């Protein structure tokens, strides 16, 4: 995942945001429910495009922060966490619109309102999804440009324009066209300028980009955070699988144990979120195969994590409307081709296959012994074939803990024994203790 790809994401993200906003049929003074039923195609395009807009902002902002070293390291660290955790979670919230569409096409508006009220009453949904999602979205879009400007990666004019576009979007996002487009259009212009500055690379020095003599404080932070996430992701996976209610995948168990169902869904979501910085860290110390496989895996993980919120909407429908109606709603959601092909299927396939490919690539690069990728493969086999009872559901995640724990140890050793190549991906700063040469920072990777 190189600097040019990050720059492309900075442009396509606000562009997708503009199109998603323009096709939204629920703009202006519209009733709370019933609009989705009248405009199903527009709602699907709006939801999927809006999801992708926030998803693409993640690699875009991470790429914008990658050249940061010591100057601006604190706001960059804040923006990095907000992007990886908060913005990814915010993108997941767009799946709620798809669930509401399926509900409106199945039951009257009064029942839709009852289901949504139940959904909003879930504590784990509020604390685990809505609060970090909304807060992370706001912090990432504010702290990201500020940190990049502070580090002299972009100009203050560019950062100010990005903030102005964010403010306009916040104020007028649900106003009628063309007022609702003010924010996305300004953001598109601002982030296009940021993309150009990122690709060109600002010269080192007092009036240019980050100083070559600066200690890479931000790079060390993101590298160590990635190592931690290689362990934390499988641990979260084990918690999510171990708390599956009733020891089976039967929906009736979720209704009987609603709190456990919410806990399980949250930790499974957190698993795929934490794997994002884990993969990015492996990309920093691996070869070309790791970087290519990692790029696709990260895009898959950013989509896959959001699907866990569907457990919350399905639980609310089952508690309020009963199993028969909830099954019909689920069938409608599965039948939306745009949602399946544009979000669900690529998220699942790229995540699961990609994590295996990244582990295999790390073995090919001799980052770890050849048998470590085999442990990772066995972990995913265990995930698929072991019964979901608490005692057996954690077998796969625990194998992944061993595999990715060894990958973390290999990655931690690599910087001290093998210097980072000049073509390393820009979504992360140099993990080693020494600073890269100015020519390697300016070169397009």
Report how far apart, in Å, the C-alpha atoms of 329 and of each of 45, 119, 317 are: 19, 15, 8
For 79-98, the pLDDT digits (tens) are 999 999 999 999 999 999 99
Average pLDDT, the chain: 88
Q: Give 434: exposed, middle or buried? Use CB within 10 Å, 0-12, 13-18, 19+.
A: exposed
pLDDT at 307 exceeding the cut of 70: yes
Q: Can you read off the two tokens belonging to residue 374?
A: 């085999």
Confidence (pLDDT) at 415: 57
For 325-361, the pLDDT digits (tens) are 999 999 999 999 999 999 999 999 999 999 999 999 9
Confidence (pLDDT) at 391: 84
pLDDT at 375 exceeding the cut of 90: yes
Give the phi and the psi of residue 209 in degrees, each rounded to 5. -80, -165
- Residues paired with 204 in a beta bridge: 209
pLDDT at 16 exceeding the cut of 50: yes
Give the phi and the psi of residue 19 in degrees, each rounded to 5. -65, -45
For 161-188, the pLDDT digits (tens) are 999 999 999 999 889 989 999 999 999 9
pLDDT at 433 exceeding the cut of 60: no
Residue range 286-305: mean pLDDT, rounded: 92
Contacts of range 171-174, beta carbons closer than 8 Å, 24 or more positions apart: 173/21, 174/24, 174/26, 174/27, 174/28
Residue range 418-422: mean pLDDT, rounded: 36
């Amino acid at each position: 995942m190189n600097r040019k790809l990050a720059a492309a994401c900075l442009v396509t993200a606000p562009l997708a945001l503009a199109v998603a906003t323009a096709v939204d049929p629920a703009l202006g003074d519209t009733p709370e429910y019933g609009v989705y039923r009248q405009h199903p195609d527009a709602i699907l395009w709006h939801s999927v495009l809006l999801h992708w807009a926030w998803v693409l902002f993640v690699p875009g902002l991470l790429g914008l922060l990658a050249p940061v070293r010591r100057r601006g390291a604190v706001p960059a660290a804040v923006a990095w966490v907000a992007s990886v955790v908060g913005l990814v979670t915010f993108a997941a919230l767009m799946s709620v619109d798809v669930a509401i569409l399926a509900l409106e096409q199945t039951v009257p508006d009064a029942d839709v309102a009852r289901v949504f009220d139940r959904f909003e009453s879930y504590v784990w949904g509020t604390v685990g999804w809505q609060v970090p999602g909304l807060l992370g979205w706001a912090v990432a879009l504010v702290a990201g440009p500020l940190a990049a400007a502070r580090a002299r990666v972009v100009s203050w004019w560019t950062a100010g324009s990005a903030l102005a576009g964010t403010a306009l979007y916040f104020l007028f996002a649900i106003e009628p066209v063309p007022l609702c487009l003010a924010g996305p259009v300004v953001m598109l212009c601002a982030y296009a300028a940021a993309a150009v500055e990122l690709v060109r690379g600002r010269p080192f020095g007092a009036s240019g980009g980050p100083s070559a003599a600066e200690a890479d404080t931000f790079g060390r932070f993101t590298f160590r955070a990635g190592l931690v996430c290689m362990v934390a992701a499988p641990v979260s996976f084990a918690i999510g699988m171990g708390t599956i209610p009733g020891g089976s995948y039967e929906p009736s168990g979720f209704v009987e144990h609603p709190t456990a169902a919410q806990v399980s869904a949250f930790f499974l979501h957190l698993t795929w979120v934490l794997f994002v910085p884990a993969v990015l860290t492996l990309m920093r110390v691996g070869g070309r195969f790791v970087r290519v496989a990692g790029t696709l895996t990260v895009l898959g993980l950013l989509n896959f994590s959001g699907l866990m919120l569907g457990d919350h909407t399905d639980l609310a429908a089952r508690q309020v409307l009963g199993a028969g109606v909830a099954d019909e709603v689920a069938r409608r959601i599965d039948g939306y081709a745009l949602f399946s092909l544009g979000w669900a299927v690529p998220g699942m396939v790229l995540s699961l296959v990609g994590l295996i490919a990244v582990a295999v690539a790390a073995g090919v690069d001799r980052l770890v012994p050849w048998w470590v990728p085999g442990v990772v493969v066995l972990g995913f086999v265990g995930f698929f074939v072991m019964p979901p009872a608490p005692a057996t559901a954690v077998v796969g995640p625990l194998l992944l803990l061993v595999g990715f724990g060894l990958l973390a140890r290999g990655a931690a050793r690599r910087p001290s024994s093998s210097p980072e190549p000049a073509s390393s991906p820009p979504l992360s700063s140099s993990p080693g203790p020494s600073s890269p040469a100015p020519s390697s920072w300016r070169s397009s990777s």
